[in-house]
Amino acid sequence: MPPVITVRPTVPASRRPPSPAGGRVRERTARSLERAARSLRHAAPALLGYLAVRLFGLLVLARWAHLKGHGVWPTLATSWDSDWYLGIADHGYQDGLGTRVNSNNLAFFPLYPVLVKAVAGVTPGSRASVALVLAVGFSLVAAWGIFAVGDRLRGRREGTVLAVLWGALPVGIVQWMGYTESLFTALAAWSLYAVLTGRWHAAAALAVAAGLTRPTGIAVAAAVTVTGLMATARTRERAPLVAALTAPLGWLGYVAWVGARVGRWDGYFAVQRLWRNAWDGGAGTLREMRALLAYDTAPQLFLVAVSAVLVGSAALYVLCLADRQPLALLVFSGVLLAVVLGSGGVYFPRARFLLPGFPLLLPLAVAVCRARRVVAALVLGGAVLSSAWLGGYMLLVWQGPP
């Protein structure tokens, strides 16, 4: 008798049951996406409020630019520092230190131009358009992170007002320019949120990215490092220690790379000196402020607004200390203020440099939420109107960079 051969039907790969490992990965991915969707729905009022503020500012700028015969797109995408980032995306960094002032592009950190170049390589349109779209997108991610921090510390209403106030800052129009402020604020906000929620690896990774984005990335690194070391001393866990040691690597790595590129250990700081930007403990800031407010008989309006932002930020930090904000927020805001106010460089961009310091706005957001509706509406409405007007003035009347 011939042998009996049993033929088993072949099951297509697409219909086979998933392997246990693959199923777990898909389940974790699905849970993560579901949590993100819930978080986004929870943050929707804050994001819509922020978007409304910035769209109003854009409309005011567009009308003002039309009356002056200017285009909105070039103003937002290709002016001042935007040109430097686009130049780095196009041609990379220069090789040496040189001697010309205000001309060495090694002063600009690499993450934003790298992202612009990478995205522009796979999408249509110019790199300037890509840079502007990225800035707008990152501003929404930043507003989401700011809301998340405010919501965790104070509640949904306070988080929403915090995001709206950040959008209504006097120089808030920069959030929708081809600058790094939106990207940096997004990284800082979510890194601080990760610290608050005990996600140490995420906090460190975001701090490293922030350190590759702006010189003030050292403030994010300091927040993660200080809180991580204190958490390690308290709990003896390994994750906070790893985060504390990892967080500064982005900033330190770029500073070391610049030193190697120009052939001297203090190369990055030498570049900053060529931009007339050295830390002097605040002496230069006080001199500029005194000359402007005490001796100048006709001070320029934009510089008065910058001075008001600096004084107001210092006062808000005192309120943050009195409010006993979490240590991560206090360290971040404190180091940011120390870097910006302690710099001896140019005075006029200081308000923009402080734009990522959203924790400073938390006491104001709480006060607005506790106030009567009429008072709250007047405060928020005044902030939105003044931000829109000053944004147009800064870009279309003021002759210098924002």
Q: Per-residue pLDDT tens for 84-140? A: 999 999 999 999 998 899 899 999 999 999 999 999 999 988 999 999 999 999 999
Pairwise CA distance, residues 328 & 150, whole Å: 13
DSSP state of 292: I
Q: What are phi and psi of 6, to 5 degrees?
A: -95, 125
Looking at residue 21, its pLDDT comes to: 64
Residue 230 has pLDDT above 70, yes or no: yes
Pairwise CA distance, residues 261 & 267, whole Å: 8
261-307 pLDDT tens trace: 999 999 999 999 999 888 899 999 999 999 998 888 889 999 999 99
Residue 19 has pLDDT above 60, yes or no: no
Pairwise CA distance, residues 143 & 214, whole Å: 18
246-264 pLDDT tens trace: 999 999 999 999 999 999 9
Sequence-distant (6+) residues with CB within 8 A of 285 are 310, 341, 342, 343, 344, 347, 350
Among 29-33, 96-100, 241-245, the least confident range: 29-33
Nearest to 216 by CA among 328, 94, 106, 108: 108
| Token pair recorded at residue 128 | 């300037």
For residue 1, what are the CA distances in angstroms to 7, 101, 126?
Answer: 18, 97, 77
36-50 pLDDT tens trace: 888 889 999 999 999
Confidence class of residue 26 from pLDDT cuts 50, 70 and 90?
A: confident
| Token pair recorded at residue 98 | 């040189």
CB neighbourhood size of 302 (10 A): 20
